[in-house]
Amino acid sequence: MPLFSANLGFLWQELSLPDAIRAAKAAGFDAVECHYPYETSAEDVRQALAETGLAMLGLNTIRGDVAAGDNGLSAVPGREDEARRAIDQAMDYAAAIGTRNIHVMAGKSEGGEAHATFVANLRYACERATEIDATVLIEPLNHRDAPGYFLRTTDQALDIIAEVGAPNIKLMFDCYHIQIMQGDLMHRLQTHLNAIGHIQIAAVPDRREPDHGEIDYREILRFIDTIGYDRPIGAEYRPAATTEAGLSWLRSYR
């Protein structure tokens, strides 16, 4: 039976993060993950996780000045100090709540200088992650949802992972983004399995519940099981209505 993690960056947004954790437990999820939990007390989150028995699988570094268009900082030349403060913030929060995956967001940039900046900041992040026995994740984002984002394809991500050269950096394989940018999901999942730190799902093209659209997730989930991936799959989608109203997919896929 597949395991599923509720991404609380999108699900139960009307609730506080601790209450969203409780709602995910009540709905039958096996774990949770989030985006930017920093406005919530780490102690409150830790208590909700302890109460429910759920693990918080991952969180993101902050995007920066969202009003000014930022979508991450670590591949943006000239903003290294901000990027490393964001990495430190994420590592400290992750340590406080027992999270073992930190997604380091690249930001909007391009070119060789951006590449070198990202690699240097990721090496810093991997050093910090070693201190808390955590893994750094990087995630290609599609150019429709995240125009101008530095990291766009699995091939680019794998080249960067190899260049960083640390044992604790992995690929966040978001089927939604990768289907839009590259497709060929089963082949990429199998080929890159050893480099994958987390898998996420959502319908394509509307990023709603993963029970319709151009990806047959029943087949994808069966395939993921056959290749030996046994960790929770992240449900990172935007509910069409309320979160509860759209959870029939969760019961059906089990």
Active site residues: 139, 236
- Between strands 196-201 and 4-7, the pairing is unpaired
- The answer to whether residues 35 and 15 touch, using CB atoms and an 8 Å cutoff, is no
Q: 160: closest CA among 140, 179, 178?
A: 140
Q: Which amino acid is at 240?
A: A
Reference 96, options 41, 16, 137; nearest CA is 41
**What contacts 145, CB < 8 A, 6 or more positions away?**
177, 207
Q: Which residue has the tokens 């590259």?
A: 182
Nearest to 117 by CA among 77, 159, 173, 84: 77
Q: Which of 144, 169, 146, 147 has its CA nearest to residue 158?
A: 169
What would the two tokens of residue 175 be? 């089927």
H or E element in which residue 196 lies: strand 196-201
